Structure 1
């Protein structure tokens, strides 16, 4: 099959959500959440069932999505480290090859705050509140994006272009003290009073649509349409805040009594709020009734995003762009949402956090396909370049999955490798996952995690010390070592023999 997808360079439209599990979509089997537009996209394209992060945290995995490199190669090992502009990034590569590049919504490629004593580098300030207190725009191109509408942060903490556009009075309607009804007291959960028409998700879609209408039609485009939701806080506006009844939500977390006794000590300490880790907010004080409200509001946020995606896709069709536009839907990582007695994210290598939705609709591809092979976030860049007919650049560690994205029954990977460096513990996690097993190795701990996914798909019984799996564990550790070495960077390239 030809390496080029279309007769001319295709437009590429990426929809990205933040902190969304794969199983929080109707097309992934969720019986409650209503996502008709995303479900239709899956029915028309290819839905990947085993798409995984390179790191289960916002900044490291987004950096992997932009570079095609693992975190230890691109350097964003955890949140709070900016992606160096010296590294090649997908939007800049596409821009140099004649694409017009535009981003609407969340990027999060540099920290939202600079708290260390070391002065920030110039590139590290553009997504901080301090910068936006004195500016209303950022220099472009920004990581290769020629046009940028930026939202930084989440919920009432969102700033950037969006806050300047709506103004302080409207922005204040995101706050919990301005909630549409008196909050129940569930942590980080309320019904936002802001009108749907002025909500950040709506304006992200508005600006994407306006770009589609006014762009240079002679130039192919790459659009990053990135929604900050359904990341906590859980605070959808009406009517989405009333769309789901908490009492009717299916709540069946992957957990068991006594489970925390069989996991490394930091799991219980995290659950009880005794330690801080990247992204986790405890969990011990969240009751099952609380979780039902959190789920109802999360689903409301997802349904709102689904409607905004529907609006953008309708504009694609109205403008006659469907036949030359690749559409991608994905998320940066998942959320534990009560699994294993935890919520949110961090150094907790379980499926609900690591597995993400991934859908591709390629005009020349076969629609309605499901691909069950494993895909990594580092594979996104080489796949997009492959689709655009552009050769991969030095340093890319991922592999193109274009043929599976076209609907061909091709096996891409049989396992994935995932990293997490957590300075809060402090420790470094290395994880490997296949259909049969999931193993996590810790740099500093004596024991690790080992789950037999064939008999224990919900990962409830850690069998690291099980003699029956000793040989399996040793073989997985050897494979993990190979993967970890393969993830070491080859940059900078050598320039001569000596």
Structure 2
């Protein structure tokens, strides 16, 4: 596998040397609930366990061999809908007032704030800007941010105003519509290639939701390989491989249509997950690294094969990146964008910085789910987590402690104050929603656990973001 990946990387380098003068195509793939080490692709060259030991994703291995891996790539949120609206608008979930996907939990010490729960018509999406610039635009798969669906927000073609219910209705031989999405993608690319029109396609894969709907043959493979493991872990490994097969079909279509030399392919996840291998702390619903650090791979013209970038990037950096690739001038971008283009990193072998409106990265989750309400701020290698129930802070040096095991708050009070001040200033500047005291709180009736996302009821949840 290693030798074949090296050969593929060399072939890719040859084809990408002819960096086309026309505007590039963009194919953006967003996986659902996939942890940083949820692939058979290492996401850090020096971190043992940065790839899964049970997953088999050969197509993503090839994509990584042909492109750049971002070892510190972050989703804007630790849950799905806030990430999705952030990607569409280039703004943080805190600024958008949409910071949770699941319903609020009650009975705790604090009351969770309300969420917007639908993308506003006043927001300028990345699809609208690209469409205005002459791109054909398509969105396939899970939308989950309301507002009338993708075609109300700049997409020429879509699967409609879908939510999690889309995952559960598709089974073998088309698990969670993976292969149907790949087919529609190929058809869209072919039509627009013939019309000589650049295209932007977002594939918001339903996987890893409804993992039990993986193809029967793939499930059987992992039932044998993981004999004795729980059924959820087996199903997750199976649907991960089915998703990788779908990714491979899209990549094969790009190659078949002769578009590889002028098409950027981006792969990331909407939030982290606890993969069972505790390299990172936490998981979905928390601002620990396990909840927000995700697989992040980019292949395209001018990107050095099998390269690495260790600069911190976040999902909403893609908005200005896509605009730069499309030739959209900075003066034409909407106000309030928080991301910075990563095009320079990709063109410079991963070296450099991302120029954003502020130096720090902030993640805001004033809710109960993976933990009590909290926010996080990163500046350089330092990361501060602030918890709202008792207002305590924790400080970690991610360069030395990626697993967030050694709290430095007591040893470095000046850094705690500096980061806490920046966090509070930012949250106030975007009028971020905060939890409030629960006047009816009874510690004797505190819920025993945090529910988080539940399996959706297709009839109840259809077309309603959660």
TM-score range, shorter chain: 0.7 to 0.9
Q: Deviations over 1:363-414 (max 9, x none)?
A: 2322221000100122110111111111233221111110112343423258
Q: Deviations over 1:21-77 (max 9, x none)?
A: 121112223333111111111111111110112221111111111111112323323
Structure 1: which 5+ runs fail to align? 111-122, 127-139, 164-170, 175-193, 250-287, 490-498
Q: Deviations over 1:166-212 (max 9, x none)?
A: xxxxx4xx6xxxxxxxxxxxxxxxxxxx3224651111112112222
Q: Does 1:19 pair with 2:41?
A: no
CA 419–234 in structure 1, closer or farther in 2 if over 3 Å, else same: farther
Alignment counterpart, residue 217 of structure 2, candidates 201, 222, 239:
239
Contact kept, 8 Å, 1:75 with 1:83, in 2: the verdict is no
1:328 alignment partner, SS class: strand
* Rounded Cα–Cα distance in structure 2 between residues aligned with 1:469 and 1:324: 48
* Rounded Cα–Cα distance in structure 2 between residues aligned with 1:56 and 1:207: 29
Q: CA RMSD in A?
A: 3.1
Which residue is equivalent to 2:323?
Answer: 385
Alignment TM-score, normalising by the size of structure 1:
0.69
Q: Does 1:476 pair with 2:422?
A: no
Q: Does 1:373 pair with 2:383?
A: no
Contact kept, 8 Å, 1:46 with 1:407, in 2: the verdict is no
* Rounded Cα–Cα distance in structure 2 between residues aligned with 1:30 and 1:415: 30
Alignment counterpart, residue 152 of structure 2, candidates 136, 142, 145:
142
* Rounded Cα–Cα distance in structure 2 between residues aligned with 1:424 and 1:303: 28
Task: Trace 1:70-469 onto structure 2 (pairs within 5 A).
Answer: 70-79=92-101, 81-110=117-146, 123=147, 141-150=151-160, 152-154=162-164, 157-158=165-166, 171=169, 194-197=171-174, 199-215=176-192, 217-231=195-209, 234-245=212-223, 248=226, 289-290=229-230, 293-338=231-276, 345-346=284-285, 348-391=286-329, 392-412=333-353, 416-422=361-367, 429-433=374-378, 436-453=381-398, 456-462=401-407, 464=409, 466=410, 468-469=411-412
Range that drifts further, 451-460 or 196-205: 451-460
The size of the alignment, in residue pairs, is: 383
* Rounded Cα–Cα distance in structure 2 between residues aligned with 1:456 and 1:352: 13
Structure 2: which 5+ runs fail to align? 1-18, 43-50, 102-114, 433-466
CA 485–367 in structure 1, closer or farther in 2 if over 3 Å, else same: farther
Contact kept, 8 Å, 1:374 with 1:415, in 2: the verdict is no
Which residue is equivalent to 2:463?
Answer: none
**CA positional deviation for 1:93:** 0.8
Alignment TM-score, normalising by the size of structure 2:
0.74
* Rounded Cα–Cα distance in structure 2 between residues aligned with 1:146 and 1:306: 26
1:359 alignment partner, SS class: strand
